[in-house]
Amino acid sequence: MRVDLLIHSAGQLLTIASPGPKTGPAMSDLGLIEDGALAIKDGRIALVGKSKEVRAQAEAKEELDASGRVVMPGFVDPHTHLVFAGSRADEFEMRLKGATYLEIMAAGGGIMSTVRATRQATVEELLAESWQRVDRMLAYGTTTAEVKTGYGLNMAQELKMLQAIKSLDRTHPVDLVATFLGAHAIPEEYKGRNEEYLDVVVKEMLPQAAQEGACFCDVFCDEGAFTLAQSRRILEAAKAWGLGLKIHADEFKTLGGAALAAELGATSADHLICTPEEELRLLAEAGTVAVLLPGTPFGLGGEHYAPARRMIELGLRVALGTDLNPGTCWCESMQFVIALAARKMGMTPAEAIVASTLNAAYALEKSAEVGSLEVGKKADILILETSDYRDLAYRFGGNLVARVFKGGQSVWPKEVD
**Residue 164 C-beta-side C-alpha neighbours within 13 Å:** 32
Whether residue 361 contacts residue 354, with contact meaning beta carbons closer than 8 Å, is answered with no
Whether residue 206 contacts residue 180, with contact meaning beta carbons closer than 8 Å, is answered with yes
- CATH assignment, 76-363: 3.20.20.140
pLDDT given at position 54: 98
CA distance 228 to 141: 36
CA distance 321 to 167: 22
Residue 316 one-letter amino acid:
L
Sign of CA dihedral 387, 390, 391, 397: positive
Domains 2-73+372-412 and 76-363 agree in fold: no
pLDDT given at position 417: 47
CA distance 26 to 191: 48
CA 197 to chain CA centroid, Å, is 28
CA 405 to chain CA centroid, Å, is 19
The domain locations on the chain are: 2-73+372-412, 76-363
Three-class HEC string of the chain: CEEEEEEEEECEEECCCCCCCCCHHHHHCCCEECCEEEEEECCEEEEEEEHHHHHHHCEEEEEEECECCEEEECEEECCECCCCCCCCHHHHHHHHCCCCHHHHHHCCCCHHHHHHHHHHCCHHHHHHHHHHHHHHHHHCCEEEEEEECCCCCCHHHHHHHHHHHHHHHHHCCCEEEEEEEEECCCCHHHCCCHHHHHHHHHHHHHHHHHHCCCCEEEEEECCCCECHHHHHHHHHHHHHCCCEEEEEECCCCCCCHHHHHHHHCCCEEEECCCCCHHHHHHHHHHCCEEEECCHHHHHCCCCCCCCHHHHHHCCCEEEECCCEECCCECCCCHHHHHHHHHHHCCCCHHHHHHHCCHHHHHHCCCCCCCCCCCCCCECCEEEECCCCCCHHHHCCCCCCEEEEEECCEEEECCCCC
Residues pairing with 7 in the sheet: 38, 64
pLDDT, block means (10 residues), the chain with 417 residues: 98 98 98 98 98 97 98 98 95 88 79 95 96 98 98 98 98 98 96 95 97 97 96 98 98 97 98 98 98 97 96 98 96 98 98 99 98 98 98 97 98 66
pLDDT given at position 416: 44
Q: What would the pLDDT profile of 6-58 be if each residue is shown by its tens digit?
A: 999 999 999 999 999 999 999 999 999 999 999 999 999 999 999 999 999 99
- CATH assignment, 2-73+372-412: 2.30.40.10
Provide the whole-model pTM. Answer: 0.97
